[in-house]
Amino acid sequence: MGKKRRWLKWVLGTVGVLALIIVAALIFVNVYIGKSEAVIEGKMAVKILDEDVTVIRDEIGVPHIEAETDADLYRAQGYVQAQDRMFQMDLSRRQASGRLAEVVGAAAVDTDKRFRTFSLRDAAEKSWEGYGDEAKQVLEWFAEGVNAYMEEAKAEGTLSYEFALLGYEPEEWTPLDSLTIGKYMAYDLGGNWNTLAVRHWALNAFPEDKAKELFIAYPDNAPSILAANKKQPVKVAGEFDASVIPPEFNGSNNWVVSGDKTESGLPLLADDPHLGLSTPSIWYQMHLQSPEQNVSGVIFAGIPGIILGHNEEIAWGVTNVGPDVQDLYIETPNPEDSTQFLYEGKWEQAEVRDETISVKGEEDEAFEVTVTRHGPIISPILYKGEDPGAVFSIQWTALEPTLELQAVLGFNKASNWEEFETALEDFQAPAQNFVFASTDGTIAYKANGRIPLRKTGDGQLPVPGDSADYGWEGYVPFDELPRSVNPESGFIATANNEVIDDSYPYHITDFWAQPYRYERIAEVLEASDDLTPEDMMELQMDQKNLYAAEFLDGMIAAVRKDTKEYDPLLEMLEEWDQVDGADQAAPLVFHKWMKQLPDTILKGEFPEDVYEMFAGKNHITDEMMRQAFAGNEGAWVSEYGGVEKWLTDALAESVDEIEEQFGDKFEDWEWGEYHQLTFPHPLASASPIFAQLLNPAPVAIGGSNITVQAAAFKEDGKVNHGASWRFVADLSDLTGAYHIVGPGLSGHMKSDFYHNQVDDWAEGDYHRTEIEKKAAGTELILTAD
């Protein structure tokens, strides 16, 4: 017994020691991580300032910065952004510049190659030359503020803990870093090259009748372009990394209502841009005040100014136009020299940029970017001895010098529509649907940005790169872009839907978003003449599913013709109120079914990576259903065995998946059990421990990718895309406005403002941010001495 007691005592003692060690380690980690949390009250000396600056963070963490000059305002903006988001800012500039491998290692080399090829940093450098002195000065002031924070944090060992995890320190911030992040946003919102590549592949892989159905509008009137795509096929399968293609759901809702339709008699404006949901948010909300401006809203971390929001006299918001601004060219390399390409019967030398990639822990990787007269070659680079074949180059509006920051600075100080529209001339890429309202009662809209005018074709397919007959010959004139001021309807709304009719003389795109969000917004706005800010917030959270209203009856009828097996389930769908509520079973069945339809009929006919590149698959299968329900089954549906078999097979697959996860009693299913809100941190995927520490707990939510309350989801049901910022402004009281930025404003896991707006996002609990009276909250004085 004595030995057993001694053994037990030793075990308990060892366990106790280990527990103490673990506790001590946790305390150390906690203290170490806490050391890098932003200082948000008291006084801090910031030697670059000319005068003291006040920074008040209100109850939800919005920084209210008040300075005596614009110079100090932008310096303080850079400093404060870096306090809360330095790691995000550094990661953003590295990703856009193709420099992640330097800090992450070999796993990021392919991503770096893709972003080096897309030449965002190069485009930022070219844009810098076009900026005026005022905008350049603002960028430099902002960079001074970021660098003042970094210098201080490095000296005191208070850089954010993510830098320690990856084992590096951030480099000096430059104006080009801010412009490069701006170019990344153009990349995120302005892409259609992958659609062109897939159509090119399809023309060469399928009979014409099947290929034709994969187009929104088949270019029958362009026989020379169709012939060129078949004559000179470019290898697509196995050549491109689909993981770097922006989500096809990047969209948004916005609307503006005139005083004729509001309770106050002055306009209301609402905006909710739909982008990736992440920790931290893509947006950083701020209030900036100096004797020259008083503006509030959001900006991308790493960029000065306020891109969306309001000042004392106007408010504005955007959605993505989604025009065809990327064209692919079929280039013919010289068999003797793959840096030369055929043009008008002669070999023309391309520019070749050395883009050697530094790789953490390994040798540098040689890489070159080849740029033709049209733009960079995006097909994998050719090596000596390889058959050159044909390759793709890309022409893209964002690769040209553009001046978006100059426009933003103009927005911030504009006081009426005329001044705002003048500032819009500098907002060139990505093209955006701007809605506007002012305290003088004006409401307005403009689809703004560079939209190419093509010599031949309309941008639906790659075109020959060896002929002068193709290419761009300018842009839609600024004064002829789609525009509306004070319309008779009393409101203007956009949701990435078609914004022109057949009378508009220029091509924008054939690939508009599905119309359901717009139709629901218009339905609600048309129905009332005494709208309030609360009505606008309620509409932003609306879960009515008009997609189901169009298709569900036909889908149910088709399955019933084929089988009686699913009748109880179909009866449940018939009784559904067609609202995507989190506690209902019907949205789970409907959305899984709709997402399964393309997979059932198309997926097996495509290489896996080409299918992954194929954007808008549901647009295609929706039209297949419309035609089949009208008695015109197309080649794909007929070949599959008819619309009844197709819809039944897709439903069967969907139900099997749901039953495997949630059991076989559909009465117990709930949309929210599957459809769960997440805000993933970029480091969370590296470890389950990181995920537990850095991500908020999932939240069951309603809505979907086609409701006004946008909540797009992945195959596993995780909602990772939606209203990254919600905003409502009442022009009868612009002393403040209503906002939600999920998951919060700080990028630091120990901050009170890290995940404090997750539930607000899910429940539609808005916060009013004031710009006239002094904000209540913690006060930090940045002193000039």
Which CATH number goes with the domain that contains 438? 3.60.20.10
Residue 4, class by beta-carbon neighbours within 10 Å (0-12 exposed, 13-18 middle, 19+ buried)?
Answer: exposed
CA distance 252 to 517: 9
* DSSP H stretches of helix in 641-705: 643-662, 671-674, 688-694
CA 321-322-328 angle, to 5 degrees, is 145
Q: Which of 398, 420, 450 is the endpoint of a domain?
A: 398
pLDDT of residue 386: 64
760 is in an annotated binding site: no
pLDDT of residue 6: 44
Q: Which of 349, 372, 398 is the endpoint of a domain?
A: 398
444, 435 Cβ separation under 8 angstroms: yes
Residue 98 lies in a domain: no
Indicate whether 217 and 305 sit together in one domain: no
Q: Which domain holds residue 485?
A: 251-324+401-458+473-540
Picking from 785, 726, 341, 278, the residue whose alpha carbon sits closest to that of residue 541 is 726
Indicate whether 493 and 408 sit together in one domain: yes
Low-confidence ranges of the chain (pLDDT < 70): 1-32, 249-250, 381-386, 388
CA distance 464 to 714: 37
Residue 200 lies in a domain: yes
pLDDT of residue 244: 80
Indicate whether 438 and 535 sit together in one domain: yes
Q: Structurally, how many domains does the chain consist of?
A: 2
361's CB contacts (< 8 A; 6+ apart) are 105, 106
pLDDT of residue 24: 42
CA 14-19-25 angle, to 5 degrees, is 125
Indicate whether 340 and 430 sit together in one domain: no
CA distance 604 to 645: 16
Residue 76 lies in a domain: no
- Which sign, positive or negative, has the C-alpha torsion 121, 282, 59, 776? positive
- Which sign, positive or negative, has the C-alpha torsion 53, 58, 63, 69? negative
Q: Which residues are catalytic?
A: 252
Picking from 713, 723, 704, 712, the residue whose alpha carbon sits closest to that of residue 761 is 723
Indicate whether 298 and 371 sit together in one domain: no
CA distance 691 to 673: 20
Indicate whether 345 and 425 sit together in one domain: no
Indicate whether 301 and 274 sit together in one domain: yes
Indicate whether 446 and 497 sit together in one domain: yes
711, 703 Cβ separation under 8 angstroms: yes
Picking from 597, 510, 511, the residue whose alpha carbon sits closest to that of residue 552 is 597
583 is in an annotated binding site: no
Bridge pairing between strands 676-677 and 699-700: antiparallel
Indicate whether 391 and 405 sit together in one domain: no
Residue 681 lies in a domain: no
CA distance 197 to 214: 12
Indicate whether 411 and 483 sit together in one domain: yes
Tokens 């097909």 belong to which residue? 379
Indicate whether 386 and 303 sit together in one domain: no
CB count within 10 Å of CB 248 equals 22
pLDDT of residue 188: 87
The tokens of 763 are what? 């429940």
Residue 267 lies in a domain: yes
Residue 528 lies in a domain: yes
Q: Which amino acid is at 412?
A: N
Q: Which of 353, 382, 398 is the endpoint of a domain?
A: 398
pLDDT of residue 385: 55
Residue 115 lies in a domain: no
State how far the alpha carbon of 643 is from the alpha carbons of 557, 588, 602, 661, 690, in Å.
Answer: 11, 22, 14, 27, 46
CATH code for position 204: 2.30.120.10
Reduced to 3 states (helix: H, G, I; strand: E, B; else coil), residue 605 is helix
Indicate whether 490 and 535 sit together in one domain: yes
Residue 284 lies in a domain: yes
